[in-house]
């Protein structure tokens, strides 16, 4: 269960961002909509433990993880949270498959090559596992980014504008893929975006 209460953040000591409370039950998905400048990326970074809120609390499965020391917070994030960034981040000089294995290594998870290959097959990249990221199309890069986020079997998947640069067909495919991957591991999924095309695919949504 993810629960936030009275979250605020300030960038310059003057402009304060305030965010609506979130109460997300196990296996639930949430779409958070908002235009540029309302703090979408700030909120997702707070949820990911990458930013510390000025006030308020974030609780996930009973853990107030923002209260953890830095090293323990990193370990918590590596174990429980998967991130899909607006612009996918890969190590460019190694293959897509090796990027997944490296992600497992850096998060102190077992480097399960068979699972990594199976995951790439599952998301439609079976013929791309030995390719480097710059050899992939934009849609394929987003698929690979989702694989990076879910390879660790996280309990919470956070996606920041995952469809903003995709056409309608790939937008629907990527959203469906995110939901399927979250469901397959019983993870909670939160997508933060300005892309109103996603609204029809979610029962739960809030607007910033």
Q: State both tokens at 157.
A: 């998947």
Give pLDDT tens digits for 30-43. 999 988 778 888 99
Whether the per-residue pLDDT at 108 is higher than 80: the answer is no
Report the pLDDT value the prediction gives residue 143, as an integer from 0 to 100.
84
| CB atoms near residue 88 (< 10 Å) | 20
Name the burial class of residue 169, with classes exposed (0-12), middle (13-18) and buried (19+) by CB atoms within 10 angstroms of its CB. exposed
Contact present, 10 and 54 (Cβ < 8 Å): yes
CA-wise closest residue to 154 among 130, 133, 185: 185
**pTM metric for this prediction:** 0.86
CA angle centred on 104, ends 98 and 110, rounded to 5° = 110
What pairing do the DSSP bridges indicate for beta strands 55-60 and 29-33? unpaired
What pairing do the DSSP bridges indicate for beta strands 16-18 and 2-10? antiparallel
Range 191-195 average pLDDT: 89
CA-wise closest residue to 125 among 105, 139, 106: 139
| Distance between CA atoms of residues 137 and 46, nearest Å | 30
| Distance between CA atoms of residues 204 and 20, nearest Å | 14
Whether the per-residue pLDDT at 133 is higher than 90: the answer is no
Task: Say which residue the tokens 């897509």 belong to.
Answer: 96
Quick one: pLDDT band at residue 58, thresholds 50, 70, 90?
very high
Give pLDDT tens digits for 11-20. 877 778 999 9
Residue 174 to residues 44, 91, 94: CA-CA distances in angstroms?
19, 22, 24
| Distance between CA atoms of residues 130 and 120, nearest Å | 11
In the chain, the domains with their CATH numbers are: 28-39+69-207 (3.40.50.300)
The secondary structure element, H or E, covering residue 191 is strand 188-193
Kindly tell me the sign of the dihedral angle through the C-alpha atoms of 77, 83, 89, 95. positive
Q: Would you list the DSSP string of 13-70?
A: SS-EEE---EEE-TT-EEEEE--TTSSHHHHHHHHTTSS--SEEEEEETTB-GGGS-H
């Amino acid at each position: 269960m993810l629960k936030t209460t009275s979250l605020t953040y300030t960038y310059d000591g003057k402009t304060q961002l305030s965010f609506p409370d979130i109460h997300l039950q196990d296996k639930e998905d949430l779409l958070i909509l908002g235009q540029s400048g309302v703090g979408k990326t700030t909120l997702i970074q707070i949820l990911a433990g990458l930013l510390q809120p000025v006030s308020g609390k974030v609780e996930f499965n009973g853990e107030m993880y923002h209260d953890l020391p830095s090293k323990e917070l990193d370990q918590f994030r590596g174990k429980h949270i998967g991130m899909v960034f607006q612009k996918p981040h890969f190590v460019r000089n190694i293959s897509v498959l090796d990027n997944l294995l490296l992600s497992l290594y850096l998060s102190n998870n077992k480097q399960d090559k068979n699972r990594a290959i199976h995951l790439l097959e599952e998301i439609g990249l079976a013929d791309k596992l030995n390719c480097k990221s710059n050899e992939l199309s934009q849609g394929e890069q987003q698929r690979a980014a989702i694989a990076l986020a879910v390879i660790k079997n996280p309990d919470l998947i956070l996606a920041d504008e995952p469809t903003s640069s995709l056409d309608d067909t790939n937008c629907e495919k990527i959203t469906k893929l995110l939901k399927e991957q979250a469901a397959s591991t019983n993870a909670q999924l939160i997508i933060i975006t300005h892309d109103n095309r996603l609204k029809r695919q979610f029962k739960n949504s809030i607007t910033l």
